[in-house]
Amino acid sequence: MARHDKDSARPLIPISRREFLNRSSSALAGSMVIALILPEGSSAGIAGADYDWDRHRWVYLIDTTKCIGCGSCVRACRAENSVPEDMYRTWVERYEIPAEGEAFIDSPDGAEHGFDPVATGLSVRKGFFVPKLCNHCDATPCIQVCPVGASFATRDGVVLVDPEHCIGCGYCVQACPYGSRFINPTTHTADKCTLCYHRITTGRKTACVEICPVGARRLGDRKNPDDEVIEILATQRVEVLQPELLTRPQAFYLGLDMEVR
Amino acid sequence: MFPELTGFLFPNDIHIHWSLMIVMYPYITGLVAGAFLVSSLYHVFGREEFKPLGRFALATALCFLAVAGLPLLNHLGHPERGINVIITPNFTSAMAGFGILYASYFIVLLLEVWFVFRVDIIDTAARSRGLKRWFFAALALGVYDTSPEAQALDRKITRVLAAIGIPMACLLHGYVGFLFGALKANPWWSTPLMPVIFLFSAMVSGIALLIVLYQVAMKLKGMPIERNAISAMARWLWLFMIMSLTMELLEIMMLAYERAEEWEVISHLLTHQLSFSFISLQMVGGGLIPLILLGIVVLMDRYMDDRIRNTLTMVSSLLLLLQVLAMRWNVVIGGQMFSKSMTGFRETYVPEMFAKEGILAAALIFFIPFVLLVIFEKVLPTFRHLES
């Protein structure tokens, strides 16, 4: 257990050359084994080898009262998932709401570099940050509209895109009410948050959850009886984004405001 | 390269993923549906005033339908996988209807063209030698019966095919409107009126195209422009444009009067980003002016000199062709000029000239059906029945 904690506290990027070589050689060996086991032409997928998707049901919880707008999650996501420039699988929004008049909302570069102070000229009485990502909706229009079934939901509740079948029509991008999808300029296919499926199926947290210094982002599992996030969902007042659209988001929010869409 | 933005946009919402190609696609299928309707008015409903145009309208529909899929294919990130929409469709997607509707309509249209031109094909085969004879014999598919009974059967089958074709043309185009109308995420698109608006504007654009092409063709061939045909098309065009404008206005007025949440975004959109293409083109230049001009043609038909009628219908038709193009633009591009945050806008969108989905590509794709039409006319003259 102690070993695991130490591991997760390790910074993401700086690793020694020896460690890098060690890790990559074992990864190489691992992938060779997988390549030998799998029949030709089949793809290894991104889930862990002995992962059982019937034993999990993932949800996401965002506590906006904790977020400090540092943008670490946005950077971690980009590094972890090679998200192309100017595109976002996750981002953070800043709200500055005066007692009267219109709210000031921004998200410069998706908050990848955090937020600079701004002089809005408003007498701000209420201000907060809202991290956003794909809501992994249960009744999602993006899967509904995909003409070839390349957008799909895993049985453990994650909305994914199969880049080998996506035709790049962009219908799902138009259908998502949350702006969570984009067309990847390199692969020319739809791209979005995968809930770090390659990580959560190997017992790790998503990169954004892992890096968040204040615990504003949390991953929960409905099939885990002792899950703290599920306990919060059961006992506290949580909200989802744009509930009127009935997409049944699986990303839940604490401390949302009516200004947030 | 970074677009000018106002307000707050979700960071992924600054891109225009549905480009000029997606503007061209409904524009072209609309022309198909409208042209087909005109041919059906003659073939199904026996409106004699459309006889000069019956075959030409059918050829026009076929030539435009032949390229209707091109803008889509050019737009896809992976055109090589485009066929999957047809062979492995996901039926919860409205877009999965494309393959079935497009393919079946194409077959009906091809069959109808064959039955309408069958006798011409056989005649040409009989009158020619060598390669040409061989080519037309192949087109005749080995059937050389031109007896009066066979021709009567041809006409009967044509009528049935044309009758089947009407709902199919409506479906093919209504479906395009459905694609937009059924997206609840976008308040500018999401309305049940959308397929209806698309259908009526399709009829408008198709009839307008035929008025233009017919007059040009007659000029080129040195043949007289049939007064009755122009009068009748002007009447239908007027009817459909009134319906189309009414629907387009109704949609806006409902939103405005309801003071629905969407109106804040849409009123801004119409008065800023789309002020030229919506107010100036779609409503005034391409709406009000042809409404008046065609009104004059229809109401004063009896007292009008042929040349004035031809000119007025020509000008109205060109304006209406522009109006429908503006309408497609306003729907497709307009729907992407604001963020789903409902608080931010992209200020401008100017398609690039030479990009893969740019202006040149769109112009080229739009040019192809005219070339096809000229070839069609060379192979199977559509006005031959008028010459004799």
List the domain boundaries for chain A. 13-44, 47-261
Encode pLDDT of B341-374 as tens digits: 999 999 999 999 999 999 999 999 999 999 999 9
pLDDT of A3: 40
Would strands B343-346 and A159-161 be described as parallel, antiparallel, or unpaired? unpaired
ipTM attached to this prediction: 0.93
* Closest chain A residue by Cα to residue B343: A105
**Contact between chains at A165 and B84 (C-beta distance less than 8 A):** yes
**Contact between chains at B341 and A168 (C-beta distance less than 8 A):** no
Q: Which two tokens stand for residue B266?
A: 């849409």
Q: Given pLDDT bands bounded at 50, 70 and 90, which one contains residue A21?
A: low
- Name every chain B residue with its beta carbon within 8 A of the beta carbon of A141: 183-185
What is the distance between the alpha carbons of residues B37 and B31, in angstroms, rounded to a whole number?
10
C-alpha neighbours within 13 Å on the C-beta side of residue B291: 14
CA-based nearest distance B7→chain A, Å: 8
pLDDT at A200 over 90: yes
pLDDT at A150 over 60: yes
**Contact between chains at B184 and A177 (C-beta distance less than 8 A):** yes
Q: Given pLDDT bands bounded at 50, 70 and 90, which one contains residue A192?
A: very high
Does residue A166 belong to the interface with chain B, where contact is any CB pair within 8 Å?
yes
Kindly report which listed range (A34-38, B10-14, B178-182) carries the lowest average pLDDT score. Answer: A34-38
pLDDT of A35: 44
CB A230 within 8 A of CB A224: yes
Encode pLDDT of B66-114 as tens digits: 999 999 999 999 999 999 999 999 999 999 988 889 999 999 999 999 9
A47-261 has which CATH code?
3.30.70.20
Encode pLDDT of B212-269 as tens digits: 999 999 999 999 999 999 999 999 999 999 999 999 999 999 999 999 888 999 999 9
Average pLDDT over residues A175-180: 98
Does residue B339 belong to the interface with chain A, where contact is any CB pair within 8 Å?
yes
pLDDT at A12 over 60: no
pLDDT of A16: 53
SS3 at position B151 = helix
CB B298 within 8 A of CB B242: no
Average pLDDT over residues A168-193: 97
CA-based nearest distance A188→chain B, Å: 5
* Closest chain A residue by Cα to residue B72: A169
What number of helices (H) and strands (E) belong to chain B? 14, 2
Residue type, A137: C
Q: What percent of chain B has pLDDT over 90?
A: 94
CB B238 within 8 A of CB B295: yes
Encode pLDDT of B268-296 as tens digits: 999 999 999 999 999 999 999 999 999 99
Show me where the domains of chain B are located. 19-182+350-388, 227-349
Average pLDDT over residues A22-38: 50
Does residue A187 belong to the interface with chain B, where contact is any CB pair within 8 Å?
yes
Q: Which two tokens stand for residue B144?
A: 């050389």
Q: Given pLDDT bands bounded at 50, 70 and 90, which one contains residue A39?
A: very low
Closest Cβ–Cβ partner in B88, B184, B340 for A179:
B340
- Name every chain B residue with its beta carbon within 8 A of the beta carbon of A91: 10-11
Report the DSSP beta bridge partners of residue A105: A95
pLDDT of B388: 57
Number of neighbouring beta carbons within 10 Å of residue B383: 16
SS3 at position A18 = helix
Is pLDDT larger for residue A26 or for residue B365?
B365
CB A165 within 8 A of CB B81: yes
pLDDT of A243: 96
pLDDT of A125: 87
Average pLDDT over residues A30-43: 44
Average pLDDT over residues B53-60: 95
Q: What percent of chain B has pLDDT over 70?
A: 99
Encode pLDDT of B296-319 as tens digits: 999 999 999 999 999 999 999 999
What is the distance between the alpha carbons of residues A81 and A204, in angstroms, rounded to a whole number?
15
Cβ neighbours for B2, distance < 8 A, ≥ 6 positions apart? none
- For residue A55, report the phi and psi dihedrals to the nearest 5 degrees: -105, 10
**Distance set, CA B387 to CA A178, B91, B146, B233 (Å):** 61, 49, 20, 21
CA-based nearest distance A99→chain B, Å: 19
Averaged pLDDT score across all residues of chain B: 95
Kindly report which listed range (A22-26, A248-252, B118-122, B227-231) carries the lowest average pLDDT score. Answer: A22-26
* Closest chain A residue by Cα to residue B190: A175
Average pLDDT over residues B193-213: 97
